[in-house]
Structure 1
Amino acid sequence: MAKPKKTPRPKAQTPKGFRDYFGAEVTHRAEMLSKIAAVYQRYGFDALESSAVETVEALGKFLPDVDRPNEGVFAWQEDAEGDKPGDWLALRYDLTAPLARVYAQHRNDLPMPYRRYAMGPVWRNEKPGPGRFRQFYQCDADTVGAPSVAADAEICAMLADCLEEVGIARGDYVVRVNNRKVLNGVLEMVGLNKEYPADNNLRGTVEAAYSQVMNQALNRAINADDVLRTIDKFDKVGIQGVFELLTSGRKDQSGAFIDGVGLPENDARLVLNFLTAKGSSNADTIANLRKAVAGSEIGNVGVDELELISDLLAAGGYGPDRVEIDPSVVRGLGYYTGPVFEAELTFEIKDEKGRARNFGSVAGGGRYDDLVKRFTGQEVPATGVSIGVDRLLAALAAKGRLAGEATGPVVVTVMDRDRMADYQAMVAELRQAGIRAEVYLGNPKNFGNQMKYADKRQSPVVVIEGGDEQDRGVVQIKDMVLGAQMAQDASHDEWKERKNQYEVARGDLVQAVRDILDRTS
């Protein structure tokens, strides 16, 4: 009789596109989110923790392909109930779609406007790559029900405050602001404003004027989305590269030819006039934009809104050194209908090949006035921002604003397992004094293993009390930080003069530990 096959052991590895976070990484994230939450609350925003799971119907128009509901998100279908098929459910793709559902569901109980912030993981079923994971954190703040661009200006000011609060110095960042209505005005001037049927693949329905401008020009077979995507490459390919991509095409760095959008050169220059409208001040930029969209009503409305935003920010002390009007900002999501903004870090870092490059964007957002309409049939204005948590943490690390390894707990060693109550009493005293501490709970037989454990835990202090110390009413204090420093650079004479282990009275335990922690913090 053949032996039954053993069940193979599962592989101990994280799924592709996911990662585990340990110690300092988790602590740093929590500390940063706490600082950002404090700014959000200072601005009057309330916390919201919505469900991590939504119906695909609620997320529907935000998915890459609504005909395949599990494409782009992690989705599953519930079991059928009788003749009724089970609902399709999915892990949330972002924090904005759940907000629209929450507001539509609870609008009678919520204030108008509703100001909320949300922080947490989101999941995207996309191909992972270097630095690109299927689960990541977002940190959002949104105002729902405020039609005035004063709400957009407030979001920009709050974003600047958040960056400074977490440790990005003024001068190392800029919040760049544009307006999709100005972009629409440019597209209108080049003739991309024919009637355009609703597209279920767009992420949200957009206002009527925007829908007109985003049309495919039937007589020229040029899509406005292609023009917008080309404009969005301005920072990468420059003004000449954009011109070539708007017209007949260009060769990329590999030598491959990229087809152009097909705009006539005169129309392409109108777009370039818009892209190069940025002046030496916000006032200059706004004046240049007025010239660039002089023939478009919607474009002029957009410029008026940018001017109001600039004036409101200036009144609050947020000048162009912190927030600037920049025509090159093009947010990729189709549902933006008005002002759009990005927070860009302006300092340089080294890439994997040692080349200097700007760090880039860590946050973005804008106005999306028709998001809730999907649920209610009524237009509800909204604006908000999303901070990329992992990218901002990477930026803080690049600037040296994060501590290296997290400081571990004080470790009380066990010299006599029959005296565990005495050791627990020491730990209790330390904890009551607000000091992180623990008793060694492994096998105490080998004292060397206890010291190795304390070292691996990055413990700043080890407390030792054997029978002799107990009889004399003292404890041994071992300064692990000083010991590590001496091991690196201390001479033999310094070893004699600077002792990293010494006795203190048992009653002075807490103060002795605190003195070391204060010195090393």
Structure 2
Amino acid sequence: MTNKPQKPKLIAPRLPRGFEDRTPGEIAAVGTMIDKIRKVYERYGFDPVETPLFEYTEALGKFLPDTDRPNAGVFSLQDDDEQWMSLRYDLTAPLARHFAENFETLPKPYRSYRQGYVFRNERPGPGRFRQFMQFDADTVGASDPEADAEMCMMMADVMDALGLQGKYVVRVNNRKVLDGVLDAAGVTSEEQKLTVLRAIDKLDKFGPEGVKLLLGAGRKDESGDFTKGAGLGDEQIGELGRFIEFGRWFAFTAGSDGKSSQSAQSPGGLDEDLTFFEAMRENFGQSAPATQGIVELEAMQTLFDAAGYGPDKIKIDPSVVRGLEYYTGPVFEIELTFPVTNEKGQQVVFGSVGGGGRYDGLVSRFRREPVPATGFSIGVSRLFNALKLTGNVPTTEPLGPVVVLVMDKDQTAGYQKMVSELRSAGIRAEMFLGNSKNFGKQIAYADKRNSPAVIIEGTQEREQNIVQIKDLIAGKQAAAAISDNAEWKATRPGQFECGRTEIVAKIKELLAAYQ
């Protein structure tokens, strides 16, 4: 018996976890959104710059783990010169490297924006990807709070440009105030500080009780996974809890008297007659860093008021933290305020779609002199999902190309000439390149391409120097009202004929109706 040769094993077509494919419709819609953001950035005087996907791992700094292979949090590989390179974790660290490397030639302040994918070597989950797009803007070389205030105002203008008026607020705080509170609570270890900051940053997600667990021994989630906490004592947790309560309660409303608008019972011992900044100084301004942070926030508020950005757009909020360790001053984030339904059917607030802050120490890792910097990053995918929920992005697929059907294989040169004429006129077009001669299958292909029209030239049309143009959009609309198949064949809805030399003009006329 002869053994039959075994068929090669097929590879299962699997998308890696934490990554996603994008359709033409999604790409077009995201492109439209990015164009609107770019116009705001450029209106503020920012210019584009592009950095590579890979950086030397040491340039990413804080993401270097104490292991032989630096793969915690980043995707890394070793070059042939034995140097480790990593896919960028964000767009800020590469900017710091770019500015330091080109320090002598770049203008100062240096105002730039960047768009592109970043990569996180983390466990993926719902809405949590290993590859996602960010769109950043940064000012490097400006130390005063005016630069931070401008970032907040630009964030607000971006949201307005995207049609989200009244559905967002830019929340602003200062890490110097937080540092003062941590010092007062006896949190001195840098590692412990970072754990505390990341715990407070989860306030919107876990609430006050969940944050207190993360400040203490730790928190176990619904799946049973345990997150180790900061290990603070009850007294320290109580001191930080008072600050958290203050931040949640004291929603600042700009006005001539600077009074707060109180939506809940005030924390114990708080004088309700104080203005916002007076209350900040009395309760949390005991250290020099905290005092400086409050002064900077007050300066920023003056600029917001002068430019007409009220608390409905930009609001000082002491509960804003931002979890990254390199922030050194003002921090801010864009929070969408409209409710959405989550996977459990619950009404929740959409939350943050971007944020940033001052990072005066990041560039200084490359140069000995201090280099101040501030900027923010928009999460493009998350913001796009928010826009879909508000109906501010198109939900239909973009129109595909006009398809010239191949009715006679020996006439492909003539069909190709039609395609070339359409393309020369700036019209998307293609000749059907499939193997099928079947008219119905070619029409089905055009439908799948979301083509607005097909061009039909058989022997009879060629002899009369005409073509048939089938308007697929109008045909679908008309066919929806026809229930009888014979009537549909007799009327051929959406189909008309024109002279061979009229193709370009007629297709332009057809497309104009669907712009």
The bucket for the TM-score relative to the shorter chain is 0.7 to 0.9
Q: 1:243 to 1:453 in 2, by over 3 A?
A: closer
Give the one of 170, 192, 202 matched to 1:233: 202
Query: What is the rounded CA distance, in whole Å, between the counterparts of 2:441 and 2:219 in structure 1?
Result: 65
Query: What is the rounded CA distance, in whole Å, between the counterparts of 2:7 and 2:83 in structure 1?
Result: 37
Q: Does 1:183 align with 2:178?
A: yes
Residue 468 of structure 1, CA deviation: 2.1
Per-residue deviation, residues 207-232 of structure 1 (Å, max 9, x unmatched): xxxxxxxxxxxxxxxx4444434432
Give the one of 210, 232, 235 matched to 1:261: 232
Paired AA for residue 261 in structure 1: L
Partner residue in 2 for 1:504: 498
Per-residue deviation, residues 420-444 of structure 1 (Å, max 9, x unmatched): 3332332233333332221112235
Paired AA for residue 204 in structure 2: D
Q: Does 1:158 align with 2:159?
A: no
Query: What is the rounded CA distance, in whole Å, between the counterparts of 2:22 and 2:65 in structure 1?
Result: 29
Residue 520 of structure 1, CA deviation: 2.8
Give the one of 92, 116, 134 matched to 2:112: 116
Residue 244 of structure 1, CA deviation: 7.3
Query: What is the rounded CA distance, in whole Å, between the counterparts of 1:34 and 1:473 in structure 2?
Result: 44
Q: 1:290 to 1:451 in 2, by over 3 A?
A: same
Give the 3-state SS of the residue equivalent to 1:520 in structure 2.
Answer: coil
Partner residue in 2 for 1:481: 473
Residue 384 of structure 1, CA deviation: 0.9
Query: What is the rounded CA distance, in whole Å, between the counterparts of 1:355 and 1:297 in structure 2?
Result: 44
Query: What is the rounded CA distance, in whole Å, between the counterparts of 1:184 and 1:70 in structure 2?
Result: 30
Per-residue deviation, residues 30-59 of structure 1 (Å, max 9, x unmatched): 232232222222221121111211111212
Query: What is the rounded CA distance, in whole Å, between the counterparts of 1:517 and 1:378 in structure 2?
Result: 59
Query: What is the rounded CA distance, in whole Å, between the counterparts of 1:33 and 1:152 in structure 2?
Result: 22
Query: What is the rounded CA distance, in whole Å, between the counterparts of 1:324 and 1:191 in structure 2?
Result: 29
Query: What is the rounded CA distance, in whole Å, between the counterparts of 2:491 and 2:499 in structure 1?
Result: 21
Given that residues 477 and 502 in structure 1 are in contact (C-alpha distance below 8 angstroms), is that contact kept between their aligned partners in structure 2? yes
Residue 146 of structure 1, CA deviation: 0.6
Given that residues 372 and 378 in structure 1 are in contact (C-alpha distance below 8 angstroms), is that contact kept between their aligned partners in structure 2? no
Query: What is the rounded CA distance, in whole Å, between the counterparts of 1:61 and 1:159 in structure 2?
Result: 26
Q: 1:466 to 1:253 in 2, by over 3 A?
A: closer
Q: What is the correspondence of 1:90-129 to structure 2 with a 5 Å cutoff?
A: 90-129=86-125
Per-residue deviation, residues 451-484 of structure 1 (Å, max 9, x unmatched): 1110111111111122322333332121111222
Q: 1:249 to 1:13 in 2, by over 3 A?
A: closer
Query: What is the rounded CA distance, in whole Å, between the counterparts of 1:427 and 1:245 in structure 2?
Result: 64
Partner residue in 2 for 1:52: 53
Query: What is the rounded CA distance, in whole Å, between the counterparts of 1:3 and 1:244 in structure 2?
Result: 64
Given that residues 249 and 261 in structure 1 are in contact (C-alpha distance below 8 angstroms), is that contact kept between their aligned partners in structure 2? no
Paired AA for residue 31 in structure 2: A
Give the 3-state SS of the residue equivalent to 1:366 in structure 2.
Answer: strand
Partner residue in 2 for 1:21: 22
Given that residues 169 and 336 in structure 2 are in contact (C-alpha distance below 8 angstroms), is that contact kept between their aligned partners in structure 1? yes
Query: What is the rounded CA distance, in whole Å, between the counterparts of 1:250 and 1:488 in structure 2?
Result: 56
Q: What is the correspondence of 1:279-294 to structure 2 with a 5 Å cutoff?
A: 279-282=251-254, 283-284=258-259, 285-294=276-285
Residue 354 of structure 1, CA deviation: 2.4
Query: What is the rounded CA distance, in whole Å, between the counterparts of 1:137 and 1:117 in structure 2?
Result: 13
Equivalent residue pairs, number: 489
Residue 366 of structure 1, CA deviation: 0.6
Query: What is the rounded CA distance, in whole Å, between the counterparts of 2:196 and 2:72 in structure 1?
Result: 26
Give the 3-state SS of the residue equivalent to 2:320 in structure 1.
Answer: coil
Residue 353 of structure 1, CA deviation: 2.8
Query: What is the rounded CA distance, in whole Å, between the counterparts of 2:129 and 2:218 in structure 1?
Result: 33
Say what the alpha-carbon RMSD is for the aligned residues.
3.2
Q: 1:30 to 1:418 in 2, by over 3 A?
A: same
Partner residue in 1 for 2:268: none
Partner residue in 2 for 1:69: 70
Give the one of 238, 243, 248 matched to 1:271: 243
Query: What is the rounded CA distance, in whole Å, between the counterparts of 1:339 and 1:175 in structure 2?
Result: 12
Give the one of 355, 358, 361 matched to 2:352: 361
Give the one of 465, 485, 495 matched to 2:457: 465
Give the one of 400, 418, 421 matched to 2:413: 421
Give the 3-state SS of the residue equivalent to 1:415 in structure 2.
Answer: coil
Give the 3-state SS of the residue equivalent to 1:408 in structure 2.
Answer: coil
Given that residues 197 and 322 in structure 2 are in contact (C-alpha distance below 8 angstroms), is that contact kept between their aligned partners in structure 1? no
Q: Does 1:169 align with 2:164?
A: yes
Q: 1:76 to 1:438 in 2, by over 3 A?
A: same
Per-residue deviation, residues 75-99 of structure 1 (Å, max 9, x unmatched): 122335xxxxx11122222211111
Partner residue in 1 for 2:266: none
Query: What is the rounded CA distance, in whole Å, between the counterparts of 1:418 and 1:497 in structure 2?
Result: 30
Residue 392 of structure 1, CA deviation: 1.2
Given that residues 181 and 240 in structure 2 are in contact (C-alpha distance below 8 angstroms), is that contact kept between their aligned partners in structure 1? no
Partner residue in 2 for 1:439: 431
Residue 383 of structure 1, CA deviation: 0.7
Q: Which sits farther off after the overlay, 336-345 or 54-63?
A: 54-63
Q: Which sits farther off after the overlay, 27-36 or 172-181?
A: 27-36
Partner residue in 2 for 1:210: none
Q: 1:405 to 1:292 in 2, by over 3 A?
A: same
Query: What is the rounded CA distance, in whole Å, between the counterparts of 1:154 and 1:482 in structure 2?
Result: 49
Query: What is the rounded CA distance, in whole Å, between the counterparts of 1:396 and 1:322 in structure 2?
Result: 18
Give the 3-state SS of the residue equivalent to 1:324 in structure 2.
Answer: strand
Q: Does 1:135 align with 2:131?
A: yes
Query: What is the rounded CA distance, in whole Å, between the counterparts of 1:251 and 1:127 in structure 2?
Result: 17
Given that residues 182 and 240 in structure 2 are in contact (C-alpha distance below 8 angstroms), is that contact kept between their aligned partners in structure 1? no
> What runs of 5+ residues in structure 2 fail to find an aligned partner?
260-275
Given that residues 252 and 316 in structure 2 are in contact (C-alpha distance below 8 angstroms), is that contact kept between their aligned partners in structure 1? no
Residue 501 of structure 1, CA deviation: 1.1
Query: What is the rounded CA distance, in whole Å, between the counterparts of 2:41 and 2:383 in structure 1?
Result: 17
Q: 1:241 to 1:138 in 2, by over 3 A?
A: closer
Residue 145 of structure 1, CA deviation: 0.7
Partner residue in 2 for 1:453: 445
Q: 1:355 to 1:279 in 2, by over 3 A?
A: closer
Per-residue deviation, residues 61-82 of structure 1 (Å, max 9, x unmatched): 23455664122222122335xx
Given that residues 273 and 292 in structure 1 are in contact (C-alpha distance below 8 angstroms), is that contact kept between their aligned partners in structure 2? no
Residue 509 of structure 1, CA deviation: 2.5
Query: What is the rounded CA distance, in whole Å, between the counterparts of 2:156 and 2:22 in structure 1?
Result: 28
Q: 1:476 to 1:162 in 2, by over 3 A?
A: same
Given that residues 286 and 307 in structure 1 are in contact (C-alpha distance below 8 angstroms), is that contact kept between their aligned partners in structure 2? yes
Query: What is the rounded CA distance, in whole Å, between the counterparts of 1:105 and 1:53 in structure 2?
Result: 16
Residue 110 of structure 1, CA deviation: 0.7
Residue 291 of structure 1, CA deviation: 3.1
Give the 3-state SS of the residue equivalent to 2:513 in structure 1.
Answer: helix
Residue 344 of structure 1, CA deviation: 1.2
> What runs of 5+ residues in structure 1 fail to find an aligned partner?
81-85, 203-222
Residue 497 of structure 1, CA deviation: 7.9
Residue 390 of structure 1, CA deviation: 0.9
